[in-house]
Amino acid sequence: MATRHWLPLVLLALSTCGSALAGPTLDAVKQRGYLKCGVSQGLPGFSTPSQKGEWTGLDVDYCRALAAAVFGDAGKVRFTPLSAKERFTALQSGEIDILARNTTWTSSRDTELGFDFVGVSYYDGQGFMVRKELGLNSAKELDGATICANAGTTTELNVADYFRTHGMKYRPVVFEKSDETVAAYDAGRCDVYTTDKSGLYAQKVKLKDPAAHVILPEVISKEPLGPLVRQGDAQWFDIAKWTLFALIGAEELGLTSANVEQQRKTSQNPEVRRMLGVEGKLGQALGLPGDWAFQAVRQVGNYGEIFQRNLGGAPLNIERGQNALWTQGGLMYAPPFR
Amino acid sequence: MSASESKAPPDAVPLWRRPRLRGWLLQALLLAAVLGAVGLMFGNALDNLARQGIASGFGFWDQPAGFGINTTLIEYSETSSYGRAFLVGLLNTLLVSAIGIVLATLVGFVIGVARLSPNALIRGWAYAYVEVIRNIPLLLQIFFWYFAVLRPLPGPREAISLFDLAFLSNRGLQLPRPLPEQGFGWLLAAFLVGIVAAVVLLRRGRGGGRWWWSLAALLLPPLAVAALVGWPLGWSVPELTRFNFRGGMALTPEFVALVLALSLYTASFIAEIVRAGIQSVRRGQREAAAALGLPPGLTLRKVVLPQAMRVIVPPLTNQYLNLTKNSSLAAAIAYPDLVSVFAGTVLNQTGQAVEVISITMAVYLAISLTIAALMGWYNRRQALVER
């Protein structure tokens, strides 16, 4: 194609280029000196600014772990808050290096949008919240209800599918930002607020009177949430993927932020030694320092610690459920480190 | 030029010294460069999209959309196509813009005239209105109206009822919807005939009696048709179901808030334009009208405003364009306009930002150019014809 001859020039002119070449993301991140991570505009438990102005949450901690793996310093990450609508364009255009924004892994996003999903950091499903005074017990009683939801989410489509499947009617009221969605629900514009169940628990805390609302038992969809990267950079994809596995693997192997230093020196378990860079060249194969996983676990903690810190404790008190390790009846499972 | 050169025949002048040719050449070069750059960017974008594995093209247009929309002027369901969703969003944008323009013009003219009122109280209020409204960001005003409309209203079960026909609640204003039945076309035709006949009688007739004649002309044809075919108009009255009202039609809080915010905001600018227009009419015109014995109201309508319109119309066009483009803020309060539905949900579900944003921009451009053309036509009609 003739345009290829012009590519060097265009590379200078348009920043959209270059992202598809092999391995440039890691170089760009290293050269820049920090990681650019896209998160939500404020979803408690996943990514939300604390009162001190620091970002906290499961997605935030994953990005911190990734920064620790790349730089050996979990602080070298900057967060870009994105609406559901903006998030994909931000990643496609190279505005961010990784998107960790409670995003559902679906086939069309993985293929048509030009992304690769790194894995699942939280197994979720969509649910409904209603006022207690309506006296509802099941989502099947929602025929004719007005439903508040967020624009540009799988939620919007799942509701449509669910109501169609059950031959019910509904009226959608779709907002761009989740804050407005919740405010409108709170003001009585809608009978139902729908989003992923974790989000329902998180937003319920923000309502004027949380005790006046109830979350219906139905889970109407599978929502595997996880980070994603641009397609075409296999090295960066691997780094992001194995950082997530390292956090899960660390919990499987009993490594925590408190004991990982000790374990690195004393452990005789070959898998622990390989993962922490005592044996083998795992880090080198990824293009990272040998202690990448060690730094991630030491500075951020394993998956269980991250979960407990952000979701399991007060005020959300979400149970591990499907997000427990596979050895404890959950779905969290890391491939072997060898 | 030296003397020797000016004697030379025109053929001898080198090409690059001929200003006309040089001008053409430079313009052709510039055009080629611009076209080349556009083509390059286009090709490059396609190339990059392909390499990143992002789908491109307009194949999504006929795919089922799979999401619902709450305010639709045309038939739409979750199984309709993305193209249909685009149409729904476009019509919603046009609806809110058209109503906003009419309201903004009415309010703007009233406030603009009030700004020049001899009554200090009216003048002061109009001044306060303009200064407060035009200095607060529109988005904030939209949120203000949305939650101001929403908060104090009761839920659907405690709705404020007007004779059990209309209901006001935080779900909106529910009104009975006319249901045309068989023979409705005849009724409509008879009604139109009545109007035409009434107007003709009013214009041609003389004396007080013509009012009664034209009233009779207005009412008789529809009544005659109704007597022949029966009253061909039913009503769908809203009734409360478990959650919401069913039947009838609704003005949603989103629509009301958006129209209010857009028209009141734009009206504050139009008011200033109207004031400037009126002040541009010379004092002598008013004084001449007064000398002829015209009352103030008539002076304003027949002498001042027609002359002021020539100054008012061009900047008024800008405000109409602004209002239309500002209607895209609807996405913030869930009114399903073009940006919310198409550049929002459709973009996100298909991931085809380049196509969707291009279409959206082209549509806004087309709407704006249409409004500008209409206003230009009106302006030419208003302009002074000089001989």
Per-residue HEC secondary structure of chain A comes to: CCHHHHHHHHHHHCCCCCCCCCCHHHHHHHHHCCEEEEECCCECCCEEECCCCCEECHHHHHHHHHHHHHHCCCCCEEEEECCCCCHHHHHHCCCCCEECCCCECCHHHHHCECEEECCCCEEECEEEEEEHHHCCCCHHHCCCEEEEEECCCHHHHHHHHHHHHCCCCEEEEEECCHHHHHHHHHCCCCCEEEEEHHHHHHHHCCCCCHHHEEECCCCCCCEEECCEEECCCHHHHHHHHHHHHHHHHHHHCCCCCCCHHHHHHHCCCHHHHHHCCCCCCHHHHHCCCCCHHHHHHHHHCCHHHHHHHHHHCCCCCCCCHHHCEHHHCCCECCCCCC
CA dihedral in degrees (A115, A116, A122, A124; nearest 10)?
60
Distance in angstroms (rounded) separating the CA atoms of residues B355 and B216: 58
CATH of domain A126-221: 3.40.190.10
Whether the Cβ atoms of residue A204 and residue A132 lie closer than 8 Å to each other = no
Distance in angstroms (rounded) separating the CA atoms of residues A310 and B57: 42
Q: Are residues B200 and B164 in the same domain?
A: no
Whether the Cβ atoms of residue B308 and residue B116 lie closer than 8 Å to each other = no
Contact at CB, A171 and B246, closer than 8 angstroms: no
Contacts of B99 (CB under 8 A, 6+ apart): B259, B263
pLDDT at A2: 40
Mean pLDDT (whole number) for B137-165: 83
How many residues belong to chain B?
Answer: 387
Contact at CB, A20 and B48, closer than 8 angstroms: yes
Q: Where are the alpha helices (DSSP H) in B138-252?
A: 138-150, 184-204, 209-229
Sequence letter at residue B182: Q
* A139: confidence class by pLDDT, cuts 50, 70, 90: confident
Sequence letter at residue B43: G
Is residue B183 scored above 80 in pLDDT?
Answer: no
Task: Give the residue from A112, A126, A168 with the most B CB atoms within 10 Å of its CB, the best one to mutate.
Answer: A112
Cβ atoms < 10 Å from Cβ of B267: 28
Q: Is residue B300 part of a domain?
A: yes
Q: Is residue B68 part of a domain?
A: no
> Which one is predicted more confidently, A35 or B47?
A35
Of residues A156, A157, A189, nearest to B170 (C-beta): A189
Q: Are residues B330 and B185 in the same domain?
A: no
Could you tell me which chain B residue has the CA closest to the CA of A135? Answer: B242
pLDDT at B7: 52
Is residue B160 scored above 90 in pLDDT?
Answer: no
pLDDT at B11: 64
Whether the Cβ atoms of residue A143 and residue B242 lie closer than 8 Å to each other = yes
Mean pLDDT (whole number) for A60-82: 95
Distance in angstroms (rounded) separating the CA atoms of residues A216 and A218: 6
Distance in angstroms (rounded) separating the CA atoms of residues B145 and B258: 8
> Per residue in B296-307, pLDDT tens?
888 888 888 888
> At how many degrees (to 10) do helices B305-326 and B253-279 cross?
150
ipTM of the prediction: 0.73
Q: How many domains does chain B have?
A: 3
Contacts of A95 (CB under 8 A, 6+ apart): A36, A38, A80, A89
Contact at CB, B349 and A85, closer than 8 angstroms: no
Q: Is residue B255 part of a domain?
A: yes
Q: Are residues B329 and B300 in the same domain?
A: yes
Q: Are residues B247 and B328 in the same domain?
A: yes
> Of all helices (H) and strands (E), which one includes residue B381?
helix B353-382
Residue with tokens 């979803």: A43
Distance in angstroms (rounded) separating the CA atoms of residues B32 and A16: 24
Highest mean pLDDT: which range of A176-180, B85-89, B156-160, B348-352: B85-89
* A237: confidence class by pLDDT, cuts 50, 70, 90: very high
| Two tokens, residue A74 | 């979990």
Q: Are residues B272 and B338 in the same domain?
A: yes
Q: Are residues B210 and B348 in the same domain?
A: no
Cβ atoms < 10 Å from Cβ of B342: 25
SS (H, E, C) B43-56: HHHHHHHHHCCECC
Please give the backbone phi and psi of residue A289, each rounded to the nearest 5 degrees, phi first: -65, 160
Distance in angstroms (rounded) separating the CA atoms of residues B45 and A4: 12
The range of the structural domain enclosing residue B335 comes to: 82-176+239-382
Cβ atoms < 10 Å from Cβ of A144: 17
Positive or negative, the CA dihedral A54, A60, A62, A67 is negative
Mean pLDDT (whole number) for B99-120: 93
Q: Is residue B74 part of a domain?
A: no
Q: Are residues B146 and B94 in the same domain?
A: yes
Cβ atoms < 10 Å from Cβ of A217: 10
The domain that contains B368 carries what CATH number?
A: 1.10.3720.10
Distance in angstroms (rounded) separating the CA atoms of residues B197 and B188: 14
* B115: confidence class by pLDDT, cuts 50, 70, 90: very high
> Per residue in B354-367, pLDDT tens?
889 999 999 999 99
Contact at CB, B254 and A151, closer than 8 angstroms: no
Highest mean pLDDT: which range of A2-6, A21-25, A124-128, B214-218: A124-128
Judging contacts by C-beta atoms under 8 Å, the chain B residues touching residue A113 are 54-55, 351
Mean pLDDT (whole number) for B141-167: 81
Of residues B52, B171, B242, nearest to A92 (C-beta): B52
Distance in angstroms (rounded) separating the CA atoms of residues A17 and A93: 9
Structure letter (DSSP) for residue B355: H
Q: Are residues B194 and B269 in the same domain?
A: no
Distance in angstroms (rounded) separating the CA atoms of residues A94 and B52: 11
Q: Is residue B55 part of a domain?
A: no
Planar angle of CA A319, A325, A328, nearest 5 degrees: 80
* A116: confidence class by pLDDT, cuts 50, 70, 90: very high
Domain boundary among B215, B236, B257: B236
Is residue A160 scored above 50 in pLDDT?
Answer: yes
pLDDT at A12: 36
Residue with tokens 């994953």: A62
> Per residue in B202-252, pLDDT tens?
777 776 677 777 788 778 877 777 777 776 667 777 777 777 777 777 788
| Two tokens, residue A73 | 């310093």
> Which one is predicted more confidently, A9 or B283?
B283
- Percentage above 70 pLDDT, chain A: 93
Contact at CB, B67 and A157, closer than 8 angstroms: yes
Q: Are residues B257 and B325 in the same domain?
A: yes
Which superfamily does CATH assign the domain made up of A17-123+225-328 to?
Periplasmic binding protein-like II (3.40.190.10)
Of residues A85, A153, A232, nearest to B52 (C-beta): A232
Is residue A19 scored above 70 in pLDDT?
Answer: no
Distance of CA A127 to CAs A43, A69, A151, A215, B229, Å? Answer: 16, 35, 16, 7, 53
DSSP B100-164: HHHHHHHHHHHHHHHTT-SSHHHHHHHHHHHHHHHTS-HHHHHHHHHHHHHTTSPPGGG-EEETT
Highest mean pLDDT: which range of A118-132, B70-84, B144-158, B244-258: A118-132
Could you tell me which chain A residue has the CA closest to the CA of B77? Answer: A160
Is residue A5 scored above 50 in pLDDT?
Answer: no
Size of interface A-B (CB pairs under 8 A): 149
Q: Are residues B111 and B231 in the same domain?
A: no
Residue with tokens 């949603």: B252
- Report the range of poorest mean pLDDT among B8-22, B132-146, B311-325, B362-376: B8-22
Q: Is residue B64 part of a domain?
A: no
pLDDT at A7: 39
Contact at CB, B40 and A3, closer than 8 angstroms: yes
Whether the Cβ atoms of residue B163 and residue B178 lie closer than 8 Å to each other = no
Q: Are residues B284 and B366 in the same domain?
A: yes
Distance in angstroms (rounded) separating the CA atoms of residues A142 and B283: 67
Cβ atoms < 10 Å from Cβ of B347: 24
- Report the range of poorest mean pLDDT among A10-19, A277-286, A293-302, B63-72: A10-19
Q: Are residues B171 and B186 in the same domain?
A: no
Is residue B149 scored above 80 in pLDDT?
Answer: no
The SS3 call for residue B240 is strand
Is residue B5 scored above 70 in pLDDT?
Answer: no
Q: Is residue B65 part of a domain?
A: no
pLDDT at A68: 95
Using a 10 angstrom Cβ sphere, with 0-12 exposed, 13-18 middle and 19 or more buried, the burial of residue A161 is middle
Mean pLDDT (whole number) for B93-110: 94
Judging contacts by C-beta atoms under 8 Å, the chain A residues touching residue B68 are 156, 159-160, 163, 170-172
Q: Is residue B56 part of a domain?
A: no
Q: In chain A, list all ranges with CATH 3.40.190.10.
A: 17-123+225-328, 126-221
